[in-house]
Amino acid sequence: MTTLSGITPSGRLTLGNHLGALRRFTDPEGFYFVANLHAMTTKHDPRRLAALTREFATLMLAAGTAPGTVFVQSDVNTHAQLAYLLECTSYVGELSRMIQYKEKGKGRPMTRASLFTYPCLMAADILLYGADRVPVGGDQSQHVELARDVAIRFNREYGETFVVPRLAKAAYATRVKDLADPTKKMSKSEADDAVGTIRLLDPPDVIRRQIMRAVTDSDNEVRHDEAAKPGITNLLDILAACTDGDPVQLATAYSSYGELKRDVADAVLAVLEPLQKEYARLTTDPGAINELLAQGRDRALEASLPRLRAAERAMGLAGSA
């Protein structure tokens, strides 16, 4: 079994990213990368992209992802190469149906062409390594589904080349909600100072304050009920994810919102404080981070090249080599 996942450096990482994905990047044989090529599919600032790429890679290492499994997507050029081959096996019809494209770009002439072909790059990321397990949050299901379709179609048209991947969702917190508006997901693309978004590197007192101020309802009954009580349900899901508990069960222990919020803040900080300490420690030695990323790059290149070559041969790209 091969595990693979990526995170796009398009804004500072949130608690949602950590609970839904990052803290599950634990397979010592896995492939985990900063998807910086994906961050260029909408208007971007090159300096901020470079800084976020570095921050994300360091956070992955700080989260305990095994050294050697972490790399930066653009360091491994097989990704962009296979993406082109997959663009040649995907259809405008299916790409037009992707939610992300429909929401962020469809019908707007200045949409980057790469936003449209984004799913082909993501399929390439996954298929290059024969990954059959992709730990992501709920919002990525359509993309993983497309990667499955592309793999199945490629194998049928050009011969057995790719492993067909599977989504691996977390038990809870597959869609952590915004604390200020629990009807929408917590997103890293919100403004840096948005009160509903917990950033992994926010100071602990800021995080505690944000949780204490989370929007709830007014009846003061702690119950897991997504439709009627989205704010409380979100807090219970966060608590369950941070303590490996069951959110429905946990609800029975509380008789007031204040108590619940205090426990959520403690649980979140128990997860984030060690991560922040390790991040601070790693940043004191940039050379060591470079070394680890170079190892990750070399390993990823070696692991992905054979499948790129197999796909090229299968499609009739017979070069001189």
Q: How far is the CB of 73 from ligand TYM (least distance, A)?
A: 8
Residue from 34, 59, 86, 126 binding ligand TYM (CB under 6 A): 126
The catalytic residue among 104, 106, 177, 277 is: 104
Q: Is 20 in the site for ligand TYM (CB under 6 A)?
A: yes
Residue from 134, 150, 250, 268 binding ligand TYM (CB under 6 A): 134
Phi/psi-derived region of residue 2, left when phi > 0, alpha when psi is between -120 and 50, beta in every other case:
beta
Stretch that binds ligand TYM, among 14-22, 40-48, 225-233, 278-286 (CB under 6 A): 14-22
Q: Is 34 in the site for ligand TYM (CB under 6 A)?
A: no
Q: Is position 229 annotated as part of the catalytic site?
A: no
Residue from 63, 136, 240, 260 binding ligand TYM (CB under 6 A): 136
Residue 261 token pair: 């919020």
Residue from 21, 179, 200, 289 binding ligand TYM (CB under 6 A): 21
C-beta of 106 vs 313, nearer to ligand TYM? 106
Q: Long-range contact list for 270-273, CB < 8 A, 24+ apart?
A: 270/242, 271/18, 271/23, 271/242, 272/15, 272/18, 272/200, 272/204, 272/207, 273/204
Q: How far is the CB of 164 from ligand TYM (least distance, A)?
A: 14
Q: How far is the CB of 134 from ligand TYM (least distance, A)?
A: 5
- CA–CA distances in Å: residue 183 to residues 74, 217, 231, 249, 305: 35, 13, 8, 23, 43
Q: How far is the CB of 161 from ligand TYM (least distance, A)?
A: 18
Tell me the C-alpha distance between 158 and 152, whole Å: 10
Residue from 3, 12, 17, 101 binding ligand TYM (CB under 6 A): 17
Q: Is 139 in the site for ligand TYM (CB under 6 A)?
A: yes
C-beta of 136 vs 242, nearer to ligand TYM? 136
What is residue 311's three-state secondary structure? Answer: helix
Q: Is position 185 annotated as part of the catalytic site?
A: yes
The catalytic residue among 169, 177, 185, 229 is: 185
Residue from 186, 198, 207, 311 binding ligand TYM (CB under 6 A): 186
Stretch that binds ligand TYM, among 12-20, 47-55, 107-115, 277-285 (CB under 6 A): 12-20
CA dihedral 144, 146, 152, 157 (to 10 degrees): -150
Q: Of all helices (H) and strands (E), which one includes residue 127?
A: helix 113-127
Q: Is position 102 annotated as part of the catalytic site?
A: no
Which residue, chain included where needed, has tokens 């170079």? 294
25 near 135, Cβ under 8 Å? yes
The full 3-state SS of 169-203, as one line of letters, equals CCCCCCCCECCCCCCCECCCCCCCCCCCCCECCCC
C-beta of 80 vs 317, nearer to ligand TYM? 80
Residue from 12, 27, 30, 38 binding ligand TYM (CB under 6 A): 38
Q: Counting Cβ atoms within 10 Å, is residue 228 exposed (0-12), middle (13-18) or buried (19+)?
A: exposed
Residue 231 token pair: 């704010």
Stretch that binds ligand TYM, among 90-98, 122-130, 218-226, 277-285 (CB under 6 A): 122-130
Tell me the C-alpha distance between 94 and 115, whole Å: 14
Tell me the C-alpha distance between 297 and 159, whole Å: 29
Q: Is 167 in the site for ligand TYM (CB under 6 A)?
A: no
Residues that bind ligand TYM (CB under 6 A): 4-8, 16-17, 19-21, 35, 38, 122, 125-126, 134, 136-137, 139-140, 143, 173-176, 185-186
Residues catalogued as catalytic: 104, 185, 188
